[in-house]
Structure 1
């Protein structure tokens, strides 16, 4: 068993890596900022960051890097509830450290002003990249968080998938961001949203509630459904030789 301290360190560093690479692909790319393109590039950056972080830290902490994933695993009885708050705290701290480093690097570009920059923060309404309103942002964040957490639970539960689980989950995150970036600038992760919002302040903090409530709701729903499917699987199928009940 890996100690809690080591697992928290892995979660914090992994979350920092995810946020720095993903948000950095927006903030540090001046062409993207000026010309308004790059959904595919940003989505790929987030997906690859999660995949590489998962390969490095997944064996230590599980490679959640996202409070919604941790909550979903706890609801599905795949993660100890006693470690829930420490994990989420480590993820938030990692995201804040990454945002601070990103702000420091971005300040090295002449003319960059943090107060005038949206700094890859998540938003809706006039702060949505395509002016999507609250109801659209809420629907996208809940549904895509549900799908992402469900994919994470499935990958973790199937022994045959474990060697490639980080690639599978990273690809899922990439698809999720391709859809969500035009709507909310892509959250699906309360820690990622919190780090950027703390540095932007003002409107980003006012709208941060959505990027906690929606992903957490999606994570809880995924955990509940996964738990129900797993119980039905155990009742209907004879236990396989390896003791794993794989959800179809």
Structure 2
């Protein structure tokens, strides 16, 4: 149960500060801009990795947990518990963010959004549905493969949080103008639930594509590890 609570807390922080920075700073054309928003997501990971990493491994992302399940680095029971904690943490964070927006002179969530993802008209560059799916698969693949690689050895434990956080930041720098960057189904589902409308209609892509990217990353990681063991044999 402690692991699931840790995942709740970690995802809460990621969504509140990442999506909150996007919503409260005026989006990509606002005060912080693309790099600032990307760093908010990345630094959230860094902070949580050194806070709850020893408890749950700090997945705070169903896509990461899915990859760990496929690669047999976690059990089915833990996978379900992790995802429930992650989704509930994201929903709680979006609820808090909405309360903050509604209590400020910002025009409500219709004006600020909640850091939701989107394609087509909801994309800053008008990215198509197919393009958005491809982008999310690739970005998630890179992020999850990095997370799996850097956490595979205890020797990397001291720097794993920084590496994963910086990787999340750099995939956001590319992805924010395209889709808002998901790479995390929980982070996408929660804002969409409160925004409704187009965000909720399109959220399926930001659940499916990260899971596909994560599955590919897990399969590649297993292949690479297996090949390395065969070479050493």
TM-score, normalised by the number of residues in structure 2: 0.96
- 1:181 and 2:144 aligned: no
Kept in 2, the 8 Å contact 1:114–1:200? The answer is yes
Q: Where does the alignment leave 5 or more consecutive residues of structure 1 unmatched?
A: 239-248
Name the CA distance, whole Å, in 2 between partners of 1:34 and 1:73: 36
Q: 1:206 to 1:116 in 2, by over 3 A?
A: same
Q: Alpha carbons of 1:132 and 1:89: their partners in 2 closer, same or farther (altered >3 Å)? A: same
Please give the alpha-carbon distance, in whole angstroms, between the structure 1 residues aligned to 2:34 and 2:3: 32
Does structure 2 retain, via aligned residues, the 8 Å contact 1:77–1:227?
A: no
* C-alpha distance 138-97 of structure 1, shift in aligned 2 (>3 A): same
**How far 1:115 sits from its partner (Å)?**
3.6
How far apart are the structure 2 equivalents of 1:118 and 1:127?
A: 11
In structure 1, what is the equivalent of residue 215 of structure 2?
220
Tell me, yes or no, if structure 1 residue 44 matches structure 2 residue 39. yes
Q: Does 1:20 align with 2:25?
A: no
Q: Using the alignment, how far apart are the partners of 1:29 and 1:71 within structure 2?
A: 32
For 2:5, the equivalent position in structure 1 comes to 9
Distance in 2 separating the partners of 1:33 and 1:224 = 34
Q: Distance in 1 between matches of 2:28 and 2:148?
A: 35
Alignment of 1:1-248 (within 5 A): 5-30=1-26, 32=27, 35=30, 38-237=33-232
- Structure 2 SS opposite 1:208: helix
SS in 1 for 2:176: helix
Q: Which runs of 5+ in 2 are unaligned?
A: none
TM superposition shift of 1:109: 1.5
Whichever of the two has the greater Rg, that structure is 1
Root mean square deviation, CA, Å: 1.5
- For this pair of structures, how many residues does the alignment match? 233
Once the two structures are TM-superposed, the CA of residue 59 in structure 1 deviates from its matched residue by: 0.5
Where 2:107 maps in the other structure, the secondary structure is coil
